[in-house]
A and B are shown apart, each in its own frame.
Chain A
Amino acid sequence: MGSDLFDNGSAPAAASGYTDAPRRVGFFTDTSLCIGCKACEVACKEWNQVPEDGLVFTGMSYDNTQGLGADTWRHVAFIEQRKPLGGQVGGGGSDGAQEFRWLMSSDVCKHCTEAACLDVCPTGALFRTELGSVVVQEDICNGCGYCIPACPFGVIDQRKEDGRAWKCTLCYDRIGAGGEPACAKACPTGSIQFGLLEELHVHADQRLEELQASGMDDAQLYGRDPGDGVGGAGAFFLLLDEPEVYGLPPDPVVTTRDLPSMYARAALAALALGATVAALFSAPRR
């Protein structure tokens, strides 16, 4: 009866108490279309006024932002592999020396159906919007940092100079004014698609079939399955290789699933402590 406390079902906004919530929106990032232009990173920074995140040269292909964090809400990954792309025929020798593919993927907060960051936030600074996304309220966050180890994707992080936690808001402000998120608006190839999540699911399934039919056997959807460890993601991906290759956890699970058990065990341990002390002190003195 109380299971809804730890289970959002398929409609997180409704489970959060919105009675007439609009349909859930989200991102579908089709990495097969990504050309690594980083327009999404720039647009996100510009619109959300995200500070500079370190001007370094990493040598990690064309990736100098390295990963999502407090000051990187969109991150384009670049992976170089000695594999052919789909049914592509490599030139040159039989040892595959000429085979090469360059995978690019724009990563973002997953806006999980069951979001660990939001579950553990002690102040209520993280909240579920009526659109199903997960947003930090910067005027509430007191920088306790609990959300950071709770996120199984390593998305949310603390801004050092500021003390608070920051992450993608799914451009809550733009959507409210009838727009679409800045990254999706700026994406020149349609790799980042924004829309109603149900429609994106249908479209993604079709796209996956197309790609597999064209010989990309490793293509897979990530975050599409509502039965996964986080109840499905509000931002899901079409990947051309295993999730680990892109720096994504292969099987993320929201940590609060085990919380009832943790509480029960903590209560039992507390009882044991009280009982032990009582027994020891009530023993007759010698």
Chain B
Amino acid sequence: MPSLLGNIFKGWADYSKGVEEGGHHDYEHMFAMVIDLDRCTGCNACSTACYAENNLATVGEDKFGARQAMHWMRIERYFDEPDMDPDKDKVEPANETDTQSRGASFLPMMCQHCNAAPCEPVCPVGATYHTVDGLNAQVYNRCIGSRYCANNCPFRVRYFNFYENAESWPAPMDQQLNPDISVRTKGVMEKCSMCIQRTRAGRDAAKREGRDLKDGDIQTACQQTCPTSAILFGDLLDENSVVSKVWKRQQVKLGTYKQDKENSELRGYRIFEELNVDTKVLYLERVREV
């Protein structure tokens, strides 16, 4: 049984290496994002682009209200506590959140592609796993819809096809479906893939031309569409990529839940860092005058 033992030893070597190096194995790329909340205007263009790029079903008002929508990228709105509003005396108490003079803060939320993803170990059929690109991938054909992954996601960014959403694309609208990605059937879990069809195409193109992947070869749909360039996407293993420069400048590292920041003024943070899920989306805090 040399091959079996070999696999066991190799598995042990990978495991101990992962423990020493912070839970990683040999990645070819480590695609990650930076989202600057100071630049985000809450325009929802990224969300719309995601709908167009990834064949997301539009479920209609009723199902949206029932929280059965399929928006992989959602713009979350956060309001100040009413007491913090400098003009709180002018606001009707009944609708104070709607009429805050300062308006809302926005946070684009999608799959954080955790390196220690809670959704991955719980899937009974292994339909969600980590790729060598450092992405948390979902295999639609393998998914049987036990929905354990969504229950275990602290960000609640996994979306389930509660219905056969084919009426989202009545003819001739089905002509505008993206041919590079499937249309999911009912009973399947789906989520942001960081536009896996684009990352694959970019990698393949680089391989065909016999060169390494350059920063900027791949753009995700949300990044491409953002009018204020609030979203950056790139490879963290590439030292020269913009994303890895921003991560370094913000003194945020992968593989730890406690960042030692020398400068507490730095705006970069990862959501739910304390859960140690090791997310790969760096948010830059919004700065507002008090």
Q: Do A and B come from one complex?
A: no
